[in-house]
Amino acid sequence: MEDKRNNEFPESYPMTGGVGAYSYVQNSKYQRGYVEAAKEVIKEAIVKKFDINCLSAPLNSIFVADLGCSTGPNTFLAVQNIVDAIEHKYQLSEDRDEIPEFQVFFNDHASNDFNTLFKSFPPKRKYLAAGVPGSFYGRLFPKASIHIFHSSNSLNWLSRVPKEITDKTSRAWNKGRIHYTNAPKDVVEAYSTQYAMDMESFLIARGEELVVGGLMALLIASVPDVILSSDFTICTELELLESCLMDMEKVGLISEANLDSINLPLYFPSPKELMAAFERNRRFSIEGIQELGIQDKQLNLQSLTLTLRAGLGGVLEKHFGNNIIDEVFDRFSKKLATTPTLLNLNENQKTSLLFVLLKCKPND
């Protein structure tokens, strides 16, 4: 039996579960903006590019998977957009009038709070639903079984923190930083190499699982260039967070060793890096790649702090324990109050949302 590599990637950093004040469910409106921004392009992509003939008769069902679904609710919106678009495509088509059944797979790490997700499935959904735990950097589905893959806000998470950056003997040791923002070249390279390897694993797995003619719609936060500096809003946020942790280290709330060993497994690829990964893989044709504008970027101090906490609270908690998390984000919101530019993303956002549409080609 071929190695499906599902268990090779033990690192996972799920969003904060449940439906409480700090949960992803309550604090993912910013990410929802991405899904909303992509609604029309995905609809158009499906109408123009989805090949109804890629369904295998007599099964005649459409299998859709959302990768990195978290606990909701954005995943439900994304999936509904896809189902509506396919229905619309059938309505436009002359020779196929019977709309097939939809089976939707919701994927995330096994440590994701799937119970919260399952409890909030929309009651009137037009699809059958199932959860699929496991890393999307490995195989998740049988060969040639999925017609449409979707993923939003998830392909910025690396499968792991690059090894070298926690190795004191390495030139890439990332002492005193929690990310590669404004870091030396070796650190940036370690991150970008990890991303390239992860994308390769991701594309190999999806290339096996998609039917020929199947589509993959990806929404990825991206930066114009490989080098990150605090010119990018997300990086300034991470620097602020880093400075809060450093302050806490100075007053003895966390140890120097503990601070030095934390690194966020987040990466913001440039369009060029992504194109290179797709071209290396060769299993997909690039049907579209475009930057999307995000409509609602109005975050206030509280919502920005809570959004970051819902996303990164889990990583910090895993590393430092849960006693310091309130303190970290208290300090973060106080610092944020003195950095008002971060709150006006319309003017200051240089991290963009990239929409990529890939189509699975026949094997060479």
User: Which residue ranges make up the site for ligand SAM (CB under 6 A)?
Assistant: 14-15, 28, 31, 35, 68-70, 74-75, 107-109, 112, 135-137, 152-154, 157, 159, 311
Nearer to ligand SAM, 104 or 259 (CB): 104
Q: What's at 151, amino acid-wise?
A: S
CB of 54 to ligand SAM, least distance (A): 24
DSSP secondary structure, 282-335, as one string = -SEEEEEEEEE--S--B--HHHHHHHHHHHHHHHHHHHH-GGGHHHHHHHHHHH
CB of 288 to ligand SAM, least distance (A): 19
CA–CA dist 65, 129 (Å, integer): 10
Nearer to ligand SAM, 207 or 311 (CB): 311
CA–CA dist 228, 220 (Å, integer): 16
Query: Both tokens of residue 307?
Result: 């959004």
CB of 282 to ligand SAM, least distance (A): 23
CB of 48 to ligand SAM, least distance (A): 24
Nearer to ligand SAM, 62 or 205 (CB): 205
| Residue whose tokens read 């950093």 | 13
Query: Both tokens of residue 230?
Result: 């605090």
CB of 137 to ligand SAM, least distance (A): 5
| Residue whose tokens read 């889990």 | 314
Nearer to ligand SAM, 31 or 233 (CB): 31
Nearer to ligand SAM, 39 or 361 (CB): 39
CA distances from 122 to 19, 152, 286 (A): 15, 19, 32
Bridge partners for 215 per DSSP: 148, 359
Cα end-to-end span (Å), the chain: 23
Closest residue by beta carbon to ligand SAM: 68
CA–CA dist 268, 233 (Å, integer): 12
CB of 345 to ligand SAM, least distance (A): 17
Nearer to ligand SAM, 254 or 269 (CB): 269
CB of 315 to ligand SAM, least distance (A): 10
CB of 305 to ligand SAM, least distance (A): 16
| DSSP label at residue 230 | T
CA distances from 188 to 17, 130, 173, 217 (A): 31, 38, 11, 27
101-108 and 61-67 strand pairing:
parallel
**How many CB atoms are located within 10 Å of the residue 58 CB?**
5
Nearer to ligand SAM, 14 or 271 (CB): 14
Nearer to ligand SAM, 114 or 332 (CB): 114
